[in-house]
């Protein structure tokens, strides 16, 4: 199993629509650790760590998000690997 961490910045209508809660549920189901948080510029930041395939699946899912979200962009960048132990909402 190859592990990785990706930091994703999600833009669009992603705050006030349950995006963080849905992301945490999806990440936990995939066995991904890290966090999700709202940013002051109205984007959502996701730091996802774990199995490379699971992290990739979560980052692809971010384009969909919960039903009320309208995602216009998902920007990804590599991040140093960290083992958070779980996935949390910050």
Just list the catalytic residues. 20, 38
Long-range contacts of 41-44 (CB under 8 A, 24+ apart): 42/11, 42/14, 42/15, 43/9, 43/10, 43/11, 43/14, 44/9, 44/10, 44/14, 44/15, 44/19, 44/20
């Amino acid at each position: 199993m190859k592990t990785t961490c990706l930091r994703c910045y999600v833009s669009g209508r992603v705050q006030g629509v349950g995006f963080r809660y849905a992301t945490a549920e999806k990440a936990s189901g995939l066995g991904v650790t890290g966090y999700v948080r709202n940013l002051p510029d109205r984007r959502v930041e996701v730091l996802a760590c774990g199995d490379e395939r699971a992290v990739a699946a979560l980052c692809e899912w971010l384009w969909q998000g919960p039903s009320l979200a309208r995602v216009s962009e998902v920007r990804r960048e590599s991040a140093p690997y960290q083992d958070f132990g779980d996935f949390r909402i910050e």
